[in-house]
Structure 1
Amino acid sequence: MTEVDELDVNPLFRALQKEYLGLYEKAQENCYIVCIPQTSSLANITVTRKLAETHILKPSPYFKSQYQTLESSAKVVQLEENGKEFQTVEGFSEKHAVKILNEELGYNQDYKPYKILILECPFDPSLKVRATRNGTPATANSFSAFQTYTESCNFLKSFAEYKMVLRQVDENLKQFNANYMILKDYLSEVQHKLKSLCQQVTQDCLKCSQYAKQQDPKFRETLDYSVESYVMGTVHSKVFSVVKETYERDDKLLFTKSRQLHNVTAEQLGVNKKIACPLPQAVVELANLDGLRTPLEKLFCLKSTIDNASQTIQNHLEENRVPPVSTAAEENYCLTSDDLIPILVTVIAQAQCRYFASNIHYIETFHWASEANDRGNLSYCLVTFKAAVEYMKNTSFDEMERQPRLKREISLEELRRATNGPNAADLSSPVNGSSVVQSGASHYDRQLERISQMLKESNDELRKTEKKQSNHTSSIFGESYERLQKPAEGLPTRKQDKEDLGDFLTSLQNDMFGMNFGKQS
């Protein structure tokens, strides 16, 4: 479970939503920063109003990057330049650094954003010491949702008390793969059967667990995710083959749309010019989707794709920011859903997933662990990708102007090398992407070379002609001004030369240096 996902079980955040709701509403209204120490750091610490006020920050009126606590203006913390930690400055028992583990953006009733930061520990060092001395062992709150099938299997098999439970599960799944018939019109029946099996296995494991683990919400969540991945990873081949058959038409439609989006820029889809940039990491991440086994793995792949895209865009904004003229809004550009959906469309098009629609439906139908545990993070990613899919299905890209010399962000051959997965062969298409890019590049180079040679020849010819036509009148503005003088009467004109050169090179002759004289509008 990620830090942001733990908000619903965090005692301080829950107190802000109930006992101290007025403080939370005040922070939202004024767009203050709400800091939440991670749950493990609050073990055996009583959540008081003072603790809550100490972790709500308002900007200091005196120094940039410094913040005062809502509890007292005498308590000051400073955000370090790297943006990854706070340093206590005044009002605390001692100075120390507090790492920022994660960040979430919320919106108040006026749709203004405010930040929720997950901290490594409380700002007050004395509370950190108390939690260390009186708290539970370090591993008690260290459980997290394992993302891969292998990790989930290893987690469950690490408990000796689960041996008999897993043996029975393996037998049930073996019978399912061998004898159970799945019809594409009855996937809901399959979903119900597998979901019930997962719930029963989770209950059986909890009965075998120690009491402390039964009461630990993080352990329960990790167990839910692991059991689901264990079951779905085992039956993946049987179930997903029917899912692909069911949504074959949608898969083909999306793949066709992806081909239509070849050489269509993000800006043409309405993406803000300043955030339109190549997203190779996001493309490579999404290209792995077909090769993953469990719904949870695939869902985390979608989340990682969005995270990579967002981070790349933020880096792009930072690299292209001009400090003297930038505004605060530009420095903290907030990527909205309206921005994200067309961006994801370009990523989907380049990732060339053969079964993208099937993957979305597979996640939506056979991932249920998040129903009780998700805090909106993973579900938001799924909903956003579903919106991107609907956009692609309902939008015609035939009339969009192609950029013939647009370099693709990543070729199919590069995707194969980057993903190196079992489904790399599925990315092949009638036209080899790598050869297209290479041939396109060589053609582009040859074309540039021919144009350069033509320019050189025409320039040499132009200079010879000018020497014959020149009236040898020196100008204080130099040679460029002399070229602007009308040729003397009786001298031959260069009309034939222009006709020989064509419109493009003729326009270059008429404006050799790209300079304009006189008053400019």
Structure 2
Amino acid sequence: GLRAGGRMESTPSNAFYAKALQKSFSRIFDDSSKKRHSFLIPVLPSLPPKIDTSFVQSHTLTPSPYFKDEYVTLDGKTVAIKGTEVTCKEGFRYPRSVQVLGRETCYNDNFDSYQLILVSCPLVGEIRNTPYSITSLKTKDRLAIARRRITDHKKFIASHLDSKCVPLYTGALQLFIEHFRQNYVIVKGFVDDAAKKCNEKCKSALEKVFRERNIDRAYYLELLVATECLVLFSLHGKIFKGICTLHTEEDTMLAAFTHKFRNENPKTELGVRKDLKFTPDRAVARLQELNSRGCAHPLAKLCCLYDTQEAISSGIEGGEVLAADDMLPLFAYVIVLSGDQSWYSNLEYLRHFSPESKALSAIDAGKLGYQLASYQAAVDLLRGLAADQKKAADLPPPEQQPSPSSPASGHERTSTTSDTEQQRRSSIRQGGSSARSRALRRMQRRQMEMRKKDQAKKSARGSHRYALADVDKALREIGISRRKPERKPKECEEGRGSLIQALMASKGAVLAGKNTAR
């Protein structure tokens, strides 16, 4: 039973919750009291209508083996107790700061001590009513978890692992990392397989150490994100370098295009609104860190893209809120100004290795998925313009093109070279600031080219018919009778009646006529 070793404020919640722990959750209470855990006891008016196992686990604390004044709940959350305040730190969807109203030291049957801590309200769930003040903790940066450094991820994981589990967890991951480095090759078409292997290994390592612990789903996903960051950071040199090797051609094309495009008034060509006054310095400086050591795993790269877009918005004079059609050309413009950063390889790396959407939502970073979509749209826009420019560069120079008065392929040219060049440039600017309309027109042009190629193939199949008619006409002009039009299919297959035989027969007839005349 409970043996009071100290005095605590007399409230109905003390007896009510203590009895609930002993009767309804006896297994948790007995096991935790033997291990000298602490129990948070919310005051009675604040308790939710229903108390379940998850609620009890979130209010049962074990001291952190790494940090003073920090505790880990049975379901893996982290709290700090300093003075008369309990602060939610990690794993809470809606973190709070609650008051400590009193403490009571108790003893189990083996005379091992544990503590009951009376608090002003629960740490999780609905708060019905409480006479005490509650502080909702609002994170200054909603991406605080996503922005953790690798050392922070290591501390976060270590603070929630028992000392016996640390070798099991780190050993499994280290073995996988070494095997991947030595034996795995990044092959085109199988990059997604490499991403799945990494994800499955991270899940397997977590399942081994948390197999017997019933942890919250959101908290599990947060641990999974941290584990993936550690693994992908260790394999960044192998994976990212392999992807860059696969897409050298795409990166080189984009680098050459952006280098040249930088000096060709890119804002106008990309369709940036003329009335927008934009200072790109901060956005460019942040985006140039995309390949730095601080961005050596997917989550850090996504945060870099997010910061770039925020810098673009803050770089607009007047504080105007940008629509998607305005943000896209500005994002592409910042990419052009940022130099060569392996733009396409970064896109492929993020497409395959970014955390799942559920995991991003669990760490309040769901908006990072939108950043990847914006980055992909900007890269696709630049690739389309680069392809158009390359196609225009492959055209023959003006001096080699037929003059307006000369027919070309049976059709008379009606526009000058300067008109053609003007149309090519205006085709990029047409449509105002809408980047989507330009992409749609490029797609329509490609569809028209495909139709023309199909028509050319069809017309080529019947061209031999007109060639035979031209031969008959030429034979009549030199005084030779027509070839016999009656030809059986079998004769065509065997070669009799072919065009070559007809010409040879005609030549023989002409020579015979000349010999007779002599």
Report the TM-score when normalising by structure 1. 0.45
Report the TM-score when normalising by structure 2. 0.45
